[in-house]
Structure 1
Amino acid sequence: MKSQSSTLLAEVRSFRQNHPDVRYVDLIALDIPGHFYGKRYPVEMLEKVAAGSPLKLPQNAVLLGAQGGLFKIGDYCFNDGDPDANRRLVPGTLKPVNWESQPLGQMLITSDGTQAPIEFEPREVLAKVLERLQHQGIHPVVAFELEFYLFDKQLENGLPQFARDPLSGDADDQPNLHIERLSRFSDVLDDMAQTAKDQGLDITVITAEIGPGQFEINFGHCDDGLRAADWAALFCRSTRGVALKQGYRASFMAKPYLQFPGSGMHVHVSLYDAAGNNLLAAHQQQPLRHAVAGCLELLPHCMPIFSPNHNAFRRLGGTVNAATRASWGFEDRDACVRIPESDPRNLRIEHRLASADANPYLVLAAILVGLEHGLETKREPIAPLNEDRNSGTDFPVEMLDAVRAMQQQPVLRDKLGAEFVDVYCENKRQDHLAFQQEIHAREYRWFL
């Protein structure tokens, strides 16, 4: 602990020396719906925290709904006195923020690694999964890919408008994969990329996707699963900020346009032993097949994680590469679990089902639990799509059905934690019910 405090203290002092104009630092963490919460600290107080002073925030901040409200979940929120819980600073995440009007810093905080971690905090859930795998001699290497849309900064009657082409001034309303779109939007995309790198994120490839104003960012493969998920979370925050600074809106909403492709979160995962051998490639790739079978078995029960809101379910079965059944295949983007072509050293799965606005900590935790379950049970998967285009098993496509499927699944309750599963499912159930408590204009048109 003394060593960690000295490391954090050195990080804060170095930051203050390199950024003397920064007076405040946002201490932030991801809640269950995938939004950042936290506090803005004077930088001199941050130095005291780094030296060992307590850092406490309300425990129930993790439980906020999609709109920031609190739901009664068991005894949490209204019958527990709203207690504080200890957090800690995440080393290496103190970085400058360049999208605000005033100089600012930000740093991740978490309850994992504290004396009493919050069982339902997303980062803690992933940390426990990774720790269990490490004890089994399994070391994941992870890479995220995130799709997002750019919109015009101004909404029209609350609805998003196509982003304007900076060269022509016209709406970028033609879906295509043309690389020229990267050039036309280079100012904002370059700013996003550089800002991400300034935050310590290892971003690699930028792609113009099919949807109008839609792009994808890939991250480098990382042998620290927590850091890989940190990168995905922080990228969403910085990208929204940079877009506003450049006169756009950026959104990771799963399905902003019904007629155009949705935005996904694709996760590449390979598993290695302590000697660096790819576990999935052993014995003529038999462990790969077992891992795929485990992922597909648990996938229908993880839908509230992969599709965390009403809109995310609209993405399923969409115009391109969005599966409607739990399936797998070699080099097949219609599959939920794709096996990219690679040499044995880099053999991996690509999990393609999650929406871009899903919580990256929980998505990765669910994928790893599926792989772990498959390696333990050693079952054969269903036929790949390459052999049978109709292969696949059904999964829930509505939130309440998905919550019921998740809450009673014994493997998830055991490996993700029963307390987390109960809290998460009730959070999603209450969010869904709250979403229904508004009469849309269409209802009046149809039924008045």
Structure 2
Amino acid sequence: MKGDLQQLKTWLNNNKVTEVECLVSDLSGIARGKISPTNKFLAEQGMRLPESVLLQTVTGDFVDDDVYYDLLDPADIDMHCRPDENAVFLVPWALEPTAQVIHDTYDKMGNPIDLSPRNILKKVLALYTAKNWKPIVAPEMEFYLTERSPDPDYPLKPPVGRSGRQETGRQSYSIEATNEFDPLFEDMYDWCEAQGLDLDTLIHEEGTAQMEINFRHGDALHLADQIFVFKRTMREAALRHNVAATFMAKPMTGEPGSAMHVHQSVVDLSTGKSVFANEDGSMSELFLGHIGGLQKYIPETLPLFAPNVNSFRRFLPDTSAPVNVEWGSDNRTVGLRVPESDPQNMRVENRLPGADANPYLALAASLLCGYVGMVEGLNPSEPVVGRGYERRNLRLPLTLEQALECMEQSTMVKEYLGQRFPAAYVAVKRAEHENYKRVISSWEREFLLLSV
């Protein structure tokens, strides 16, 4: 299980790192792991964690015992976590020189754990490699800045900026509104540069104090790691400036939701050329198959893009989010947009993933749907011209319960991702939803308390 980790050892020594955060992503995208002194980390070259960590819900609970023991060893055995030398980042906000190292998970025989989100993405990428293809992705992360709020019963409010005033109204692409939080974003950019994150542009999105960070296009696994780290970084930068950053899909009533749009393309490993464009620059059959696969299989994998009950609030009518898997050229009102570009950069933008999605699973699902469409030679529907919000032929499941049922019944998901992963994922999300149903909402108290 162990290697020499010489590259990692040199990096830790050069950066005078005294402490290492050993991380894995659980199904919800939460960082789990251990914090270790550097000497101990290098001596052990990894860590062990209970495999049950991967079945923990966002509330810290676990699935029912019957499901738990169907999926895991009854002895609650450990998994072996091995550091990836290509997934090492500084922790710039730490008081002592600290690194965060993302680990891969294996069983005691050295086999990848099939419940690990990072391993799921690796499994999908291996499908492309077997075809001599390489996917290229460019994620766009939306999020809100809000006042810090210790009481979850109170609605969130926009934070106070440099001017001493809260933002009012919607300020899409406003430079001045973005500059209200310059000190925060200066820290964020400095920290991301120290970590080697490939950030591109920062814009003010449509919502009040809603922002978007775009990442440069590149390798899917590396960018999933970067998003995993960026979300921690953004939250820490906000806290330093006494505000909060949230990646909830729909944190504020009456405001647009937050998405993680994914631009994706595929190149031939032999030539480096895009397989999505013909020699004359037109869309290739493989590209149309990729879109057809997204259209057919996104409804079966939707919980990987919209993992929480809150995620589906983003898909309500008139919320500026696509509610179907229609496609169109340079059309932001459909779920699958084909931006105008030169042939080498021919791509599709999947606009359905929420900012709350686990980046490993969202990228895996988006690339898997497109891959299956390519190998099955699927044909997409006719592209939408004009407004696509009202199109109802290719609608998505409307609730988390419906989406989980679709995923549970999907033969495609089981064929490519195995039997255990979808069963575990659905079980975790159902446990979370059961927890949600036990909480009485402010809407119920406001309208039902004295009226029914």
Q: What is the TM-score when the length of structure 1 is the normalising length? A: 0.92
Task: State the alpha-carbon separation in 2 of the partners of residues 388 and 437 from structure 1.
Answer: 39
- 2:171 paired with 1:179: no
Q: Which runs of 5+ in 2 are unaligned?
A: none
Give, in angstroms, the shift of residue 42 of structure 1.
0.9
Identity level (%): 31
Q: Structure 1: which amino acid aligns with 2:98?
A: L
Give, in angstroms, the shift of residue 440 of structure 1.
2.6
Give, in angstroms, the shift of residue 291 of structure 1.
1.1
Q: Could you tell which deviates more after superposition, 320-329 or 56-65?
A: 320-329
Instruction: Tell me what 1:209 maps to.
Output: 205
Give, in angstroms, the shift of residue 301 of structure 1.
1.1
8 Å CA contact retained: 1:93, 1:200: no
Task: State the alpha-carbon separation in 2 of the partners of residues 246 and 412 from structure 1.
Answer: 43
Pick the aligned partner of 1:260 from 255, 264, 283: 255
Task: State the alpha-carbon separation in 1 of the partners of residues 25 and 321 from structure 2.
Answer: 26
Instruction: Tell me what 1:10 maps to.
Output: 7
Give, in angstroms, the shift of residue 78 of structure 1.
8.0
Listed one character per residue, the Cα deviations across residues 244-269 of structure 1 (whole Å, up to 9, x for unaligned) are 11211111011011211110001111
SS at the partner of 1:93?
A: strand
SS at the partner of 1:280?
A: coil
Task: State the alpha-carbon separation in 2 of the partners of residues 352 and 376 from structure 1.
Answer: 23
Are residues 331 and 320 of structure 1, via their aligned partners in 2, closer, same or farther at CA, if it must alter by over 3 Å? farther
Listed one character per residue, the Cα deviations across residues 356-396 of structure 1 (whole Å, up to 9, x for unaligned) are 01011111111111111111222221121117843741211
Task: State the alpha-carbon separation in 2 of the partners of residues 378 and 93 from structure 1.
Answer: 35
SS at the partner of 1:14?
A: helix
Give, in angstroms, the shift of residue 273 of structure 1.
0.9
Instruction: Tell me what 1:356 maps to.
Output: 355
- 2:73 paired with 1:100: no
Give, in angstroms, the shift of residue 320 of structure 1.
4.9
- 2:105 paired with 1:111: yes
Pick the aligned partner of 1:127 from 122, 128, 150: 122
Task: State the alpha-carbon separation in 2 of the partners of residues 189 and 255 from structure 1.
Answer: 22
Q: Which runs of 5+ in 1 are unaligned?
A: none
Instruction: Tell me what 2:52 maps to.
Output: 60
Are residues 440 and 159 of structure 1, via their aligned partners in 2, closer, same or farther at CA, if it must alter by over 3 Å? same
8 Å CA contact retained: 1:326, 1:395: yes
Listed one character per residue, the Cα deviations across residues 76-116 of structure 1 (whole Å, up to 9, x for unaligned) are 68861211011110113333212234443211112169812
Are residues 312 and 347 of structure 1, via their aligned partners in 2, closer, same or farther at CA, if it must alter by over 3 Å? same
8 Å CA contact retained: 1:338, 1:351: yes
Task: State the alpha-carbon separation in 1 of the partners of residues 167 and 178 from structure 2.
Answer: 12
1:316-335 matches, within 5 Å, as 316-317=315-316, 319-335=318-334
SS at the partner of 1:94?
A: strand
Task: State the alpha-carbon separation in 2 of the partners of residues 132 and 102 from structure 1.
Answer: 41
8 Å CA contact retained: 1:96, 1:105: yes
Give, in angstroms, the shift of residue 317 of structure 1.
3.5
SS at the partner of 1:442?
A: helix
1:19-418 matches, within 5 Å, as 19=16, 22-50=17-45, 55-72=47-64, 73-75=67-69, 80-111=74-105, 115-155=110-150, 158-166=154-162, 168-177=163-172, 178-222=174-218, 224-274=219-269, 275-282=271-278, 284-285=282-283, 286-317=285-316, 319-386=318-385, 389=388, 390=391, 392-418=393-419
Are residues 299 and 423 of structure 1, via their aligned partners in 2, closer, same or farther at CA, if it must alter by over 3 Å? same
Task: State the alpha-carbon separation in 2 of the partners of residues 393 and 423 from structure 1.
Answer: 27
Task: State the alpha-carbon separation in 2 of the partners of residues 388 and 101 from structure 1.
Answer: 51
Give, in angstroms, the shift of residue 212 of structure 1.
1.2
Task: State the alpha-carbon separation in 1 of the partners of residues 370 and 72 from structure 2.
Answer: 37
Give the number of aligned pairs.
Answer: 438
CA RMSD in angstroms, aligned pairs only: 2.1
Task: State the alpha-carbon separation in 2 of the partners of residues 280 and 441 from structure 1.
Answer: 49
Q: Could you tell which deviates more after superposition, 151-160 or 278-287?
A: 151-160
Give, in angstroms, the shift of residue 277 of structure 1.
1.8
Task: State the alpha-carbon separation in 2 of the partners of residues 164 and 215 from structure 1.
Answer: 15
SS at the partner of 1:75?
A: helix
Give, in angstroms, the shift of residue 191 of structure 1.
1.2
Q: Could you tell which deviates more after superposition, 233-242 or 192-201?
A: 192-201
8 Å CA contact retained: 1:329, 1:384: yes
Give, in angstroms, the shift of residue 193 of structure 1.
1.8
Give, in angstroms, the shift of residue 420 of structure 1.
0.7
Instruction: Tell me what 2:432 maps to.
Output: 431
Give, in angstroms, the shift of residue 155 of structure 1.
4.3
8 Å CA contact retained: 1:326, 1:392: no
Runs of 4+ in 1 over 4 A off after TM superposition: 76-79, 155-158
SS at the partner of 2:278?
A: helix
Task: State the alpha-carbon separation in 2 of the partners of residues 136 and 92 from structure 1.
Answer: 24
Task: State the alpha-carbon separation in 2 of the partners of residues 262 and 108 from structure 1.
Answer: 29
Listed one character per residue, the Cα deviations across residues 429-448 of structure 1 (whole Å, up to 9, x for unaligned) are 11111111122343344444
Q: Structure 2: which amino acid aligns with 1:66?
A: V
Give, in angstroms, the shift of residue 66 of structure 1.
1.0
8 Å CA contact retained: 2:289, 2:373: yes
Q: What is the TM-score when the length of structure 2 is the normalising length? A: 0.92
Task: State the alpha-carbon separation in 2 of the partners of residues 17 and 270 from structure 1.
Answer: 37
Task: State the alpha-carbon separation in 2 of the partners of residues 405 and 33 from structure 1.
Answer: 19
Task: State the alpha-carbon separation in 1 of the partners of residues 110 and 41 from structure 2.
Answer: 20
